[in-house]
Structures are given as C-alpha cells and as structure tokens.
Structure 1
Amino acid sequence: MEHRCAEYGFPIETLFVQYSPGNIQLMRCANCEAVADEYIECEFMIILIDLILHKTKSYRHLLFSVINQRRVTFEGLLWKSIFVFLLLDANRSLLLKRNAGEWGSSVSFSSIVSTFQEYFLLQILVDVFVGNFMFICVFLLSMRLLLNTSIQISRCRDILLAVLVSSHFKIFLIATMVWEFPFSVIFIIDLFVLSSNMVALKVFSEPAMNRCIAACFCARAVKLLVTQISTQISLRF
C-alpha cells in the first residue's frame, strides 16, 4: 500500500522529512495543500480515540502510514493479527454458546471456564475457523461484485489486514475475563466492529458508502448464519 494523504486520500511520495533524530518536518499534500498526515506527531491515545470515533483520517493513517512503515514485517504483522482476531473470536463464540445453553442475564470468567466442560473444543473451532473463512470469502466476493475491486494475492492480503486491524473493538471482549456484563454487550461490540470495517473499507477502496455497507453486511450475515447453524447443531447433541 502506498502512502496516502490522511485528509482526502491522495497518493503522496513521502509523509515527512527527517533532518535528525526527533527533528522532522511534515510534508504537505500537493493536491489539497494540507499536512499529509498530522497523526505522525500525535500520541497513541489521540489516534486510538479518533479510531473509536470512526474518523477516516485516523484510518488512513493506520492503514497507509503505520502499516507501510512496517512493510518489512508485513507477514509477521498479518499472522499476529490473525492469531489475536481468532483468539478474541473464540472467546465470543464461547460466550454465545454459554448463553444458548443457559438463559442467564450476565456472564463472567468463571462461567467461561465452566463452558469448556460442557462443549467440545471442536465446536468452537468450527465456529471460529469455518465462520471466519466464509466471512472472508463472501467479503472478497462482495468487493469483486459490488466494488469492482481486483482480487489479486497482494490485494487480498492488504484487504485482510485492513479487516483485521479495523476489528480492534474486539479487544473489549477481554473485559469478560474480569467483569460481569450484560449479554447484549457482545452484540454492541459486534455493531462497532461492523461499522469500523465499513469505514476501513471505505478508506481502503474509496467506493460509495452504501456499497461498503452492503459488502460488510453480506459477509457478516453469512458468518452469523454459519455460527447459528453450528450452535443449533451443538444444542441437539
């Protein structure tokens, strides 16, 4: 992925010039004449807050500036992101299965541990791996049909990393290991992840927003269908 202006997404050769360690000058975009990426000098918490607020500038900074700087370790970053994503999704699957078996109003870490005694690990693996595999396949197909995006190997890797990175709201599922919370929080987190994926797709491909929404909803619907089918089958046994 090439560098982009964080303001409007115009391609740019370089974001800053470094004269000495700690002494840099931010470059301006030749098209919009604004600072190409003001987030370079911002603290991490400011960037995180803007990501939570779904500001497109922060997503452009993350996808086109931060990841580009780590291009040498792109493969390692991709595999680490996949591992964390699947781990958090496994936690979510455990919570869903727990709620399907018991109509409790809240869940906690102790209930998650006891779930391992009630369900086979294979069922969780089916939910996580098959569900996410179908999600990625439908997501790429939707991009090809709705957004007219070419599906090449390098392009697929970039899209996959964009989806994984924009699913950062899943990190809040870690709170289930510490505090009790209403079960509806899981679906609230899912909505935030979905909206974040939409913004990342909009930033990455620059299509119409309604097509981004359609592509993300199609992929999420298929994943939800696979998860529900797996849950119903597990309840019968």
Structure 2
Amino acid sequence: MPTCVECGSLVRDLYTQYSKDNIRLTSCEKCNRFADKYIEHDFVIIFIDMLLLKPQVYRHLLFNRIAQSGNGIEPHVSRFAILLILFEVYIKWFRLETYYADYNSTFAPRPLYHQYLYILALCVFEFVAFHGFINLAIQVLLIEKVVPCNRYNYVAMALVISSFGKMLLILMVIWDYKQLEYSYLVGLIVLASNTEALSGTQTD
C-alpha cells in the first residue's frame, strides 16, 4: 500500500485525479499532512532533497515511486547497484595508480584484465560484506525490539539508492581532477544518506 512520507503510516491513496492535469493530494489521517508531496515535484527537487538528507524523499522513492511487489529487488535498483560497483572499480584503480608506491612493481606487470578482475572482485566483496553486515545488524536489533519491522528488500534498495553520492566523484573525471584528498567527504555524505534512508524504511 502507499505510505505517508511524513509519518510512515499506510494510506489508501496518494492523490485523487479529477482530470488529466488536475489532481488533489491526499492528506494522511494520522499526521494531517500531505501523504506524498513529491507526487507534484520533478526529479530536480527530489535530488536536492536527497542531498539535504531528508528521509521523506526515501519513503517516496521506496514505497510510492518504485513499482515493487514480493521480496525481490527492483530491476532499476539492481542496475544502479552494478553501476556503483563498476564506478568503485574505476576509483580504486585510480587510487592504486596514484597513491600506491608499489603499483608499478606489483600490479603493472600483470595483464590488464587480471588487474581489472582483481579490483572488481575486491569491490564486489566490499559491497556484499557491507550489505550483509547492515542486514545482520538490523536482524539483531529486530530480535531485541530496538527498531520496528523492516522489509529486507527495501533495506537493500535503500542502501543502494542512498549511495548515489559516490557518483559525485565522476566530476573528477569530467574536470580531469587528479587528487582524491577530499574524497572522504563524499564517503561521509554517503554514510549520512544511508542512515537517513534506513530510517525511511521504518513504517507503521
């Protein structure tokens, strides 16, 4: 069912459509605010609110925007996860060439595809380990009744979507920027986004 992005309560519908270009947003019976104000907002506003770390925007994306049924992962989210992994491969490779003193003696002599497969395997392992740790931690908290019930596929999708900040490093490629000293700031943004997205998966 649709979900109120403000309080996380289930609602019957998000809006009433009177004509093609005339809709009226539904108010949540619990919090008396619009159930989903993002229905009328374009992607630019949604992206800005993602940068502003608003949990409401993640409820909109996860529960009201993504056509999701069952316990699987929505195909668009899966493709974005693959894109994030491939992008992480590029960043790690760049860091190895730039900052690892023994790169020329350790990695450079190896065939190019060996280098790529090694870094790809490392990135996949980190991705799986991170998601596995988060899901294990949530299961422990659920057993101890510290957090409300979460749907695990939504937890996985929330982590993927909220990791969009990693793509900000692509500006380094566009501007041919050769330093990554401040890339830890992007990591902090991603971590904060992950936290807000996970809080957004909690519904009443």
> How far off is 1:191 after superposition?
0.9
Q: Structure 2: which amino acid aligns with 1:192?
A: I
User: Match of 2:188, as an amino acid?
Assistant: L
1:143 paired with 2:142, answer no
User: In 2, distance between residues paired with 1:183 and 1:119?
Assistant: 24
What is the CA-CA distance between 1:181 and the residue it aligns to?
5.1
CA contact (8 A) 2:8 2:202 kept: no
The answer on whether the counterparts of 2:58 and 2:158 sit within 8 Å (CA) in structure 1 is no
1:123 aligns with 2:118: yes
In structure 2, C-alpha distance between the alignment counterparts of 1:123 and 1:149, rounded to whole Å: 39
- How many residues matched? 188
Q: Is 1:20–2:19 an aligned residue pair?
A: yes
CA change 1:17–1:85 in 2 (3 A) is same
SS in structure 1 opposite 2:16?
strand
Whose helix proportion is higher, 1 or 2?
1
Report sequence identity in percent: 29
Query: What is aligned with 2:193?
Result: 196
Q: Tell me, yes or no, if structure 1 residue 76 matches structure 2 residue 89.
A: no
Aligned-residue Cα RMSD (Å) equals 2.7
Extract unaligned runs of 5+ from structure 1: 104-115, 207-237
Distance 1:52 1:149 in 2: 32
- Taking a change above 3 Å as real, the CA distance of residues 120 and 82 of structure 1, as seen in their structure-2 partners, is same
Give the alignment partner of residue 161 of structure 1, picking from 138, 157, 161: 157
1:161 aligned partner, one-letter code: M
Distance 2:144 2:14 in 1: 26
Given candidates 169, 172, 191, the residue that maps to 1:173 is: 169
Residue range with higher mean Cα deviation, 92-101 or 184-193: 92-101
CA distance in 1, matches of 2:65, 2:97: 38
Extract unaligned runs of 5+ from structure 2. 103-110
TM-score (norm 1): 0.70
* 1:156 positional shift: 2.9
Task: Sort the Cα spacing of 1:184 and 1:13 in 2 relative to 1 into closer, same or farther, 3 A.
Answer: farther
Asked if residue 186 in structure 1 is aligned to residue 175 in structure 2, the reply is no
Structure number with the bigger relative contact order (C-alpha 8 A, sep ≥ 6) is 2
In structure 2, how many angstroms separate the alpha carbons of the residues matched to 1:166 and 1:37?
A: 19
Measure how far apart 1:158 and its partner are.
1.9
Residues 168 and 156 (structure 1 numbering): CA distance in 2 closer, same or farther, change over 3 Å? same
In the alignment, residue 155 of structure 1 is paired with which amino acid?
R
